Each structure stands twice: as C-alpha cells, then as structure tokens.
Chains A and B, each alone.
Chain A
Amino acid sequence: MRNKIPYLYFQNKEGIRAFLIQPTKGIILLFILLAFLSFNPLHLSENQATAPKINLSAYGFFKGNMAEQKPVDSIIPYALNTPLFSDYAEKLRFLKIPEGKIVSYNPIEVLEFPVGTTIIKTFYYPNDFRDLSKGRRLMETRLLIHEESGWKALEYVWNDEQTEAVLEVAGDTKEVSYVYSDGKKRTQQYSMPNLNQCKGCHNRSEVMTPIGPSARQLNGDFAYENGTENQLIHLQKLGLLKDMPDLKDCPKLAVWNKPETGTLEERSRAWLDINCAHCHNPKGPAMTSGLNLSIHESNPTTLGFNKTPVAAGRGSGNRDYDIVRGNPDKSILIYRMESTDPGIMMPEVGRKTTHNEGVALVREWIRSLK
C-alpha cells in the first residue's frame, strides 16, 4: 500500500548507475518526480485483492450516470431522522447488504450489519437550496466497509467534471458557492477528511464504528421509487432485518427541525445526540471530558448541567459551566457550538460554519429550562 513512485528511479542498480553516469538527466528526472509527487494526490496501488479501489465507479454502486446517484437494485437508499450538520452540505445515504446476509436489530446502538456491508454517503451542495432543479455539486463520497477485521473508512473526492470520485487518503479542501434558502449567495471552504479524521468520530473504544443507522434514526418514512414507507419496515419486508419488535415498540428519534415530531427538549437532545455524542459518550474520544451528550444519558451533571469544564482551555469562553439552565449565554456548550475557531469550536472537525438553526434550537431549549 505504499507509494512506490519516488523509488522508481532508484529501484535497481542500473537506475542508480544511470543517475551517476548521467547526472543531468538524473536531476531532471528527479525534479519531475518531485513535482509529480507534490501535485498528485497519493494513489494506492490496486494490485492487492483487498486494496481499496482508486475510483468510486469501480465498485458499481450506481447505474447510468454516476453523478445522478441512482443506486443499483440491490442497494437501498436511506435517511436519518436527525443528521449530523456538515457545513450545510446535503447527504445521500445508501446501504449495500451482502447477498444472503441479514442485519440484526438493536434498540440502542447502531444496527448490527453483517460482514460485507458497505455504507455509502455522498455529500453535495444544491446550487440553489430554493430550487433543486438548478442542479447540485457532488463533493465527496465516504464508504464504511465492514470487513472480517472490522469497519474500514474510505474517502472519495468528486472531480469538478462530476464524472468520477477518486480515493484520497490525506483529505482535501475546496471552495464551494451556493444560494441558500434565504436567497443569499454563500461561499465557504469545504473540507474533506483524511483517513485518520474518519476515526476521530467513528470511534467506539478505539474501534471504527458507524454512527448514523440506529433504529431510532431509521424509524421514519422514506420516499422510495415505489412509494413512501417506514425504513425499518422496508428493511424487514426485504428480509434484511431480523429480531425487530413491533414498529410501535421501536425507538424513534425526533426530527430536529420538525416540531410535530417532538418537544423542544426531545429535538434538542436529538440534535446533540447526532452532533456531539459520537465523541461525547463513555466509549468515545471525548470521554476524557466527563461530558456525555448521548440520548441515553440521564445524569444531569454528566449531561453538562452545572458541570465545570475539563481541559477546555480557550473553549470555556470565560464561562463556568457547560450548561446553565435558563441562560444559554452563560453555557459553554453554546459558546463552542457558535464558534468557528478551531481551538474553541465543537465538534472539533467537520465544520467551518456555524449551524445557526441548530444553535437556535439548543439555545431555546436551554433558555426554557428552570
């Protein structure tokens, strides 16, 4: 899996001799190599059976023009009730369950997906959030592949022509422009993770783990090609989900921006659960802070109420407690959600803008508390 390019010239004695005998030619070649190395993203060799594919198209997830993101028949699209905020990017999600295998239901954690499962997520920006017919720009497609040895994350970055997405180990940053729902044009940097950063969030006790597709997140309707249906029922009908109780007994997460789906508290907790609790849970990377924002947490101090910060540094913003009931402006939680300074903001990665609507929701909740 190593990049062999820099060693090409020196891989045998002849090469070295040629370099020694014809130093000028050698120098030119060396500089060409250096330049090549600097400009070119690192591509992995494809000669190993288990090696990741360089091009997304090679997996055959999609039919026709790949940019349309129409999955082949065996791949199931899905959505989450309350998704992670990703700098206003929209997401398309798909599940590929290996033939003959089945997913096990879990009432609390992410569903148990069989080895061979691939979870596919494409991030894009509509050119105009008010009028989706004006097209969109696909940014990246992330894969979580469940292998015998565990989950593996891969990152594919879409080209500007929107014809292919190419494997990128070290991540990338691009500028995007779009018209938001308020009619204003926005231009921002959009950053795509390096492979280490994937595990920054997809981490339970240092094991790579999916975050989104839990029963509570999937318990909602999806507009499939053949009509709208509850996603858990859909999986069950396809014979892909076992041990599922009656739908009425399945947990259901509120949709953060739909008041008819839950109380202010339920929607805020849903937002915090998906935006914070992947790290802020007792098995996540932010366990060191003692703050747990998971939907399952019930200890008020652990949830942040009158909890003093630990190792927050500048993140405390001169405030004393994570959450002060009734006072969002004294709550460190809000300070860090609002900031875009990398030394202060939360989550630490994956955003360069503030989720104003999410902040407004959590503010309103904290203000309502007595």
Chain B
Amino acid sequence: MKKIFAFAVLMLSLQIGFSQQSIQKKIQTQLIMAENGSVVNLDEGTFTFTNSLSMEDKKNIIIRGKGMNKTILSFKGQTEGAEGLRVSNGENITIENMTLQDSKGDLIKTMNVKGITFTNVKVEWTGTPSEKNGGYGLYPVQCQDVMIDNCVAIGASDAGIYVGQSKNIEVKNSKAYHNVAGIEIENSVYASVHDCEAYENTGGVLVFDLPDLVQKKGGFCKVYNNYIHDNNFLNFAPKGNIVASVSDGTGILLLAASNIEIFQNRIINNKTIGTGIISYYMTERPVTDTAYYPYPTAINIHDNEYQREHIRPTSKGRMGLMFRLKLKFGKDVPHIIYDGIIDPKTLDAQGNMLADKKICLKNNKNQSFVNLDASHGFKGISRDISKHDCTLEPIKLVGNEK
C-alpha cells in the first residue's frame, strides 16, 4: 500500500515537473475543441504560457476561471503570439473570474465578436509601469454588445481598458490604474462608462475619434458616476501612439468626439486637465482621411464635481510647453479646457454654434473653464464660460437599452 502511494506521489511530482508546457497545450486544445454552448473551465493556480491562447469561430462559450487572483494565466516568458488570449469571430462569449498577466502585446484581444462579456477579470502588467509593457489590457475591437463588468486593468503602456471600433458598449464597476490611459473608447458608438474608478493613470477616461480607421465615426457616449482621480502618472507610452501625447494630469479627454454626455462624475486632483475638449488638430498630426471629422461637437458636461490641489500643471510635452509659454496660469489651472477650434459649418450667421452642436457646461461643482482659442494662435484665450451655459438632450444609447 505504501509503495503504491509512493508511486502515486512520484507520478504526481513528474506531472508537475513537465506540466506547464502540457497545460498550455491542454488549454489551447480545449479552446479549439470546445463545443458551442459549452463552458471551458480553468483550474485554480498560476499557469505560465510561452504562446498566445486563441479561440475562433465559437458561439455561446464561457471561459471561466476560479476567480480573480485565483486562476492566473501568466505570459511572462512569452515567445510567440502578440497577445495573451485572442478571441475572434464569435458570438456570446464570456470570459470571467481570472487574472491574466504580462503578455508581450495586448492581454485579451477580441475581434469580430457579437456579444463579448468580461466579468471579474484582472489584466495586469506586474512590476513598475514601463513602456516595455504591452499596449492594451482588455481590447475588444470591431465587436458588438460589449460588457465589461467588475474588471481591473493595471500597467498598460497604452490603455488598460480599450474599446475600439465597436458598438453598444457598457463598461462598469471596473478599475484602471497605472496605465497610460485608464479607460479609452475609440471610434465607437453607443458606449457608457459608469461606476468605474480610474486613478493614477496618465489620463483617466479618454473618448477619441481617430482618422484612417475602418469604423470612422464614434459618438453617443455617456460617462457618469465615475471617480476619476489623481491621474498624474508620467506618460510611459512609446512615441507614435496617440496616447503618447496625452498629458500627465488628465482626468477626462474628449478628442474629436461628438454627442458625449459627462455627468455626476467626481473628477478630483488631476493636475493638468480636469476635462479636455479638443479637436484632432491639437495633436499636430496630418489628416488625409477625407471622411474624417476632426472637431468635437455636441458635448454636454453637467453635474460633475471638480477639485484640484493648488499646484502647477505638467511641465512635460507640448501641453507643458503651452502652459509655460502661452497660458501662464501658474497654479490656477481651470478644470475644463476647450481648444476653441470650431468647424465653421457649425456656426450660424451670428457666429454662434448651432444649438445641437454646442459645448455645454452646466451645474458642475467648482467648475472653471478656459477657451484656448488655439485656431488664432492662442491670442484670444478666455475664461468666460457664459457661451457654454446651455444644456443638450440626454444621450440615448440606441440599441443598448439596458
């Protein structure tokens, strides 16, 4: 009897010795062979992978771990594949209850999935945030019906939670910190970001519309009930990426975005830009895409709470230069910064913005404002907010009635 148990223990230790390579193969095989409608269960424990995991062409699948910080998939020694886990061309896919770490590229990329849900998923690059970290933590792109709930994203050299070129999106109850961008919605429509905490990133929440992409026009986004604070982390994105030009100290930044409603957020101690509203021209990048609309329009910012310590804004980058040489606000930095670059087509005969295209700022606690007048070389910098005392219709998330 004892001998048999000794044998069993020996077998078990052998099992563990060569297990990591075989676990990689086992999990990848499970993901390939999973029948539609099934659950792929992952055990508790830390598993290391040298290759990306991937799943293709599946419907109604749940990939389920034993819990955040309990099932840990580590890609630290990755030698192959650009992401940790990749899911393509699926329907109703759920990824839940696990932690993914330290992939060379993005941690979880999902593309062309209709119905993608992330619940209780942590994506992180461990150690000091570094430009050597991968780009995106959670990265649904060209997806529809995206739900991100109770997730955590840490250390991304681009965006912790990034939804790109997608439709019908809800990001809620999630945390993002120590990323360049905490949460970013890019070229996407009908998105809501609510009840999240974005802190100690370079920029907390970004809503961007960029040129040269397949899905051209984003918009119709709501950002509410979030706690967006202390996003003063030095930018560590590799140059060339759009987020590399985001200033440290940015709470919310709207870039060329339209039909956006921002309300009931606490936007606290972001030292440079509490909320920025800028056109693509501020990036000083070329625009050749004729179908692209570079101006922010129909922005409604109301009922938020602003606070900041009485300190100087960033001294880094173009923005730092602008603060030093042009704006000269010292420590008295306004919470809401608007570049004032306006599409002439949105002006009426009197030179006022058409009612449905306006930038409206109302009823924000401690609200303060500057129009940079960037289109006239910052000559008419103005802190007069009266032109923006208006309200817009609440954003309706068409097709996302939740």
Chain A residues in contact with chain B, CB under 8 A?
A: 1-3, 24, 27-28, 31, 34-35, 37-39, 41-42, 169-171, 173, 189, 191, 194-197, 199-200, 203, 206, 282, 285, 287-288, 290, 300-302, 306-321, 332, 341-344, 348-349, 352
Contact (Cβ within 8 A) A290 B212: yes
Q: CA–CA, A288 to B216, complex, Å?
A: 11
Given contacts A196-B31, A200-B54, A342-B78, contact A31 B212 (CB under 8 A): no
Contact (Cβ within 8 A) A320 B239: yes
Answer yes or no: B61 CB below 8 A from chain A CBs.
no
Interface of chain B residues 103 through 152 with chain A (CB within 8 A): 103-106, 111-112, 131-136, 139, 141-142
Q: Which residue of A lies closest to B1 (CB)?
A: A24
28 example contacts (A-B, Cβ-Cβ < 8 A) are as follows A28-B8, A31-B12, A38-B15, A38-B19, A169-B29, A170-B28, A196-B54, A206-B57, A285-B111, A287-B214, A288-B111, A288-B141, A301-B289, A308-B242, A308-B286, A311-B158, A312-B135, A313-B105, A315-B105, A318-B238, A319-B239, A332-B240, A341-B104, A342-B82, A342-B105, A343-B103, A348-B81, A349-B82
A167 to chain B, nearest CB (A): 12
B65 to chain A, nearest CB (A): 20
Q: CA–CA, A195 to B33, complex, Å?
A: 10
Answer yes or no: B79 CB below 8 A from chain A CBs.
yes
Q: Which residue of A lies closest to B87 (CB)?
A: A196
Count of chain A to chain B residue pairs whose CB atoms are closer than 8 Å in the complex: 174
Q: CA–CA, A10 to B390, complex, Å?
A: 70
Contact (Cβ within 8 A) A318 B239: yes
Contact (Cβ within 8 A) B79 A309: no
Contact (Cβ within 8 A) A343 B238: no
Given contacts A196-B32, A301-B289, A310-B210, contact A317 B12 (CB under 8 A): no
Answer yes or no: B269 CB below 8 A from chain A CBs.
no
Q: CA–CA, A332 to B139, complex, Å?
A: 22
Q: Which residue of A lies closest to B288 (CB)?
A: A301
Chain A interface, >50% SS class:
loop
Contact (Cβ within 8 A) B213 A35: no
The contact of B80 among A37, A288, A352, by CB within 8 Å, is: A352
Interface mask (B1-36 → A, CB under 8 Å = 1, otherwise 0)? 100100110011011001100100110110111000
Answer yes or no: B363 CB below 8 A from chain A CBs.
no
Contact (Cβ within 8 A) B286 A306: yes
Q: CA–CA, A367 to B288, complex, Å?
A: 23
Contact (Cβ within 8 A) A288 B238: no
Contact (Cβ within 8 A) A343 B82: yes
Known: A300-B288, A318-B240, A348-B81. 20 other contacts (CB 8 A): A31-B12, A31-B15, A35-B14, A38-B22, A171-B28, A191-B80, A197-B54, A203-B88, A288-B164, A290-B212, A301-B212, A310-B212, A310-B213, A312-B240, A314-B133, A319-B240, A332-B240, A342-B105, A344-B105, A349-B81
Contact (Cβ within 8 A) B242 A282: no
The contact of A1 among B33, B57, B139, by CB within 8 Å, is: B33
Contact (Cβ within 8 A) B33 A311: no
Q: CA–CA, A173 to B133, complex, Å?
A: 25
Q: CA–CA, A171 to B53, complex, Å?
A: 12
Given contacts A288-B214, A290-B212, contact A309 B78 (CB under 8 A): no
Contact (Cβ within 8 A) B79 A342: yes
The contact of B82 among A196, A288, A302, A348, by CB within 8 Å, is: A348
The contact of A314 among B1, B56, B79, B157, by CB within 8 Å, is: B157
Q: CA–CA, A319 to B31, complex, Å?
A: 36
Residue among B25, B78, B89 with most chain A CB within 10 A = B25
B37 to chain A, nearest CB (A): 14
Answer yes or no: B366 CB below 8 A from chain A CBs.
no
Q: CA–CA, A41 to B141, complex, Å?
A: 33
Contact (Cβ within 8 A) A290 B214: yes
Contact (Cβ within 8 A) A314 B132: yes
Q: Which 8 A-B pairs have the closest CB atoms?
A: A313-B135, A343-B104, A316-B240, A343-B105, A318-B239, A348-B82, A206-B89, A31-B11
Q: CA–CA, A31 to B9, complex, Å?
A: 10
A296 to chain B, nearest CB (A): 17
A343 to chain B, nearest CB (A): 3
Q: Which residue of A lies closest to B242 (CB)?
A: A308
Q: CA–CA, A287 to B214, complex, Å?
A: 7
Q: Which residue of B lies closest to A191 (CB)?
A: B80
Contact (Cβ within 8 A) A317 B54: no
Q: CA–CA, A306 to B103, complex, Å?
A: 29
B10 to chain A, nearest CB (A): 9
B185 to chain A, nearest CB (A): 13
B172 to chain A, nearest CB (A): 23
Contact (Cβ within 8 A) B136 A317: no
A333 to chain B, nearest CB (A): 12
Contact (Cβ within 8 A) A170 B111: no
